[in-house]
Amino acid sequence: MSALGVSGRILIVGDFPAGDRMLRGRIERYSMKRKDIMKKNGDLMLRAVVVMAAALLALAACGGDDPGDDAGPADSAVVTEEQQTSEAAGDAEPSARIDACALITREEAEAVLGTATREPVRGDTPTINSCAYQTERFDVVSVSVITYADKAEAENVHQSAIDINNYPEIEGLGDRAYNAQPISDVTVLVGRYQLGVDVSGPKNELEVARDLAETAIGRLP
């Protein structure tokens, strides 16, 4: 019997000897683990695509205008070091980018996941800022913020998502909120911001995501 790795797959050539069950078991466990990893990574990619699609819809609703041109700089204490440096230098148009990793910290993510996480993965575009914390088991806490031109535009996008997907609303969170499962967990409308919090790992994911969202709301501009 021989096992060859080709393009990430295992090819089994010939039959296993009667006494080589241990090797066969290792190969089977590897195959199961690889499928699980691919599924979890695929879920994360799907969630990222959903967030990006929402931003594109928002831009389309503005008639193609860049929300950053009309909105002006964000009045936020949650900003990157790059923005602080830019403002200190007296730049005319400092960045209004929100530091998503300051909305939910690494320590707070590790507390709900019950273990250490890898270095946070940031994602920043003119309208979307995100941060994700992942453990070695591929459990994840992620937070994203979409910034719209104004509150009315944010409200329109939020309501459209509820109407199209029939999401159940969550009372007492932000201006409005809904349960976006199974794609994500909690999406919250706060002024011209749409906050998304997703948790993978804990059994009570929705409850944990709501608690984290409440924390993040208090740190928005």
Neighbouring CB atoms inside 10 A of 44's CB total 17
Residue 187, pLDDT above cutoff 70: yes
Query: Residue 202 pLDDT more than 80?
Result: yes
Report the distance separating Cα 135 and Cα 211, nearest Å: 20
Look up the pTM and report it: 0.61
- Asked if pLDDT for residue 121 goes beyond 80, the answer is yes
- Lowest mean pLDDT across 17-31, 115-129, 135-149, 204-218: 17-31
The pLDDT value given to residue 96: 58
Q: Supply the mean pLDDT for the chain.
A: 73
Structure confidence by residue, pLDDT tens digits, 62-79: 444 444 444 433 344 355
pLDDT one-digit tens code per residue, 136-176? 999 999 999 999 999 999 999 999 999 999 999 999 999 99
Structure token digits, residue 188? 């919250």
What is the set of domains in the chain, with CATH numbers?
67-217 (3.40.1000)
Q: What is the pLDDT of residue 50?
A: 52
DSSP-assigned states of every residue in the chain: -EEEEETTEEEEESPPPTT-HHHHHHHHHHHHHHHHHHHHHHHHHHHHHHHHHHHHHHHHHTTT--HHHHH-S---S-B-HHHHHHHHTT-SS----B-HHHHS-HHHHHHHHTS---S-EEEE-SSEEEEEEE-TT--EEEEEEEE-SSHHHHHHHHHHHHHHHTPPB-TTSSSEEEE-TTT-SEEEEETTEEEEEEEESSTTHHHHHHHHHHHHHTT--
